[in-house]
Structure 1
Amino acid sequence: MQDIKANSSKWINEKKFLKVKFEWQEGYGAFSYSKSHVQNVIHYIQNQEEKHKVKSFNEEYLDFLNAFEIDYDERYVFKDLI
């Protein structure tokens, strides 16, 4: 996980996707799906760019947290970064 976090934050900052420097919070989260949902995940990834034209990353992230019933601290929710 450490390698994924290091490489992804480097990539995000090099691409300058955000108005501020991206840094991972302490810890991490992962969402898993059963094999029967693989096609849905593939479809989601393939259409992510279009989806974010109507729903922000922040809105979608909060939807995931709520759908998976994950408690979160409002201080760590992305706000006006994208």
Structure 2
Amino acid sequence: MADTFSQIYIQVVFAVQNRNALIHPGWEEELYKYISGITQNKGQKMLAINGTSNHIHFFIGMKPTCCLSDLVREIKKSSNTFIKEKRFTNHQFKWQEGFGAFSYGHSQLTDVIQYIDRQKDHHRKKTFKEEYLAFLKAFEIEFKDEYLFEWIDD
């Protein structure tokens, strides 16, 4: 039987519900390790993960057998439970509905990894909304405003 050969790289972006700034620097590293573990347990390769207080980015090498929606659903569900069980925040924590997924070629790996690693610096100049809309435009993804995340004015 022939093997399947693939090179699929996906950046996933999603936000805390209502973009509340609930991800604290004191525990974000533990959250990222937990999400990386879920990703690895699902047979995917975590290449980079980072974010800010209100959203995260992660970049994976994805196998063709992976259903991205199922993976993201599992990450959100499990990490919600993890955050609650660890009592990382006194506020109700929940990820916002939906996510962005953007594909890249092998030649772009270093740039995307560096972009994700520099999230905090990047967001000193650009809001999450500006960033997300720029992704949609750059990837020529048609969208309707009513189906985007619920935005809170910056």
Q: TM-score, normalised to structure 1's length? A: 0.70
Higher relative strand content: 2
Gaps of 5+ in 2: 1-70
User: Which runs of no fewer than 5 residues in structure 1 stay unpaired?
Assistant: none
**Which whole-Å CA distance do the structure 2 matches of 1:74 and 1:12 have between them?**
30
- What's the Cα RMSD here? 3.0
Q: Which has the larger radius of gyration?
A: 2
Q: TM-score, normalised by structure 2?
A: 0.41
Deviations 1:22-64 (A, max 9, x none): 4443x54411111111000111011111111110011000000
Q: Which structure shows the bigger proportion of residues in helix conformation?
A: 1
Q: 1:58·1:79 contact (CA, 8 Å) conserved in 2?
A: yes
Matching of residue 50 in structure 1 with residue 133 in structure 2: no
Question: Are residues 1:80 and 2:152 paired?
Answer: yes
* Distance in 1, Cα, partners of 2:107 & 2:127: 27
Q: 1:61 aligns with which of 116, 132, 147?
A: 132
The verdict on how the C-alpha distance between 1:15 and 1:68 changes in structure 2, with shifts beyond 3 A counting, is farther
Q: Following the alignment from structure 1 to structure 2, what is the Cα–Cα distance between the partners of residues 81 and 32? A: 28
One-letter amino acid of the counterpart of residue 53, structure 1: R
Identity of aligned residues (%): 38
Q: Is the 8 A contact 2:136 2:142 kept in 1?
A: yes
